[in-house]
Amino acid sequence: MAAEPAERSRPVCRRRDNAACPLKQLASVAPSGRPLAAVLEHNRLDLLSLALLTARAAQLLEEGADAAQTAREAYGLGCLYLRAGRLQDARACFARAESMESPATATAGTADSCVCAEALRALAVLDRRSRRYDDAAAAWRRLLALRLCPPRFMQEASEALAVHHEHRERDLRLARDLARKSLQFATSGSRATAVRHRLTRLDRKLAFPKSARRAGQTTFPLFNPPF
């Protein structure tokens, strides 16, 4: 009877996908066990960090926005509340994240300034969805006031304010200026096309005001005369 191949005689461990990993091969990678000990220690620390992070998140969720010690913590807590549908709690957290930033860090282009920008954007979007349009516009303006605001947020804030001033404030000139500003930061061709379409509409409205259009409707006949 022929002897079995050496590979088949090795002890193996089976994974869920039925792939075999010979223990001899594992031993050849770390014959002394020291490299594996380092890996296991790293995994142990990861599990401890995850447990501490989970405990801290649970404490924050229980105590609310006032328990946040940093702007990043307040912003992260707000995101958790937002996913859970707790909109008022989320808004309080985003507002706290903004208030915890000093003017120096909020305009220095640091990681903290990015948190401030993220919090202001989240606050503006949340207020707009809640139909708090004036509050949303105020948050967009504060976002634009950041000296080193990320370009994608500059584009979004400028466009949102252009819409606000065109349809709510009826300030067409300011809406046009904001639309032009948003065009500078357009990140895609479709976005740039949409902004140009808005600019064309605003130019048409400014050239022919609504009052003049209404007056024209009363002076011109509905049908052409027969001569």
Whether 80 has a pLDDT exceeding 50, the answer reads yes
Predicted confidence at residue 222, as pLDDT, reads 36
CA dist list (Å): 22 to 14, 26, 27, 30, 122 = 9, 7, 9, 13, 51
Residues linked to residue 20 through DSSP beta bridges, in sequence order = 14
For 158-193, what is each residue's pLDDT tens digit? 999 999 999 999 999 999 999 999 998 887 888 889
Class of the CATH-defined domain 67-149: mainly alpha
Phi and psi at residue 22, to the nearest 5°:
-60, 135
Type of residue at 133:
Y
103-115 burial string, b = 16+ CB within 10 Å, else e?
Answer: eebbbeeeebbbb
What tokens does 148 get? 């080193």
Mean pLDDT of 32-61: 81
Predicted confidence at residue 199, as pLDDT, reads 93
Whether 33 has a pLDDT exceeding 80, the answer reads no
Whether 227 has a pLDDT exceeding 50, the answer reads no
For 192-220, what is each residue's pLDDT tens digit? 899 999 999 999 999 987 655 555 444 33
Looking at the chain, the whole-number percentage of residues with pLDDT higher than 70 is 71
pTM of the model as a whole: 0.68
Type of residue at 112:
D
CB 142 within 8 A of CB 113: no
Distance CA 196, CA 206 (A): 15
Distance CA 122, CA 198 (A): 24
Looking at the chain, the whole-number percentage of residues with pLDDT higher than 90 is 46
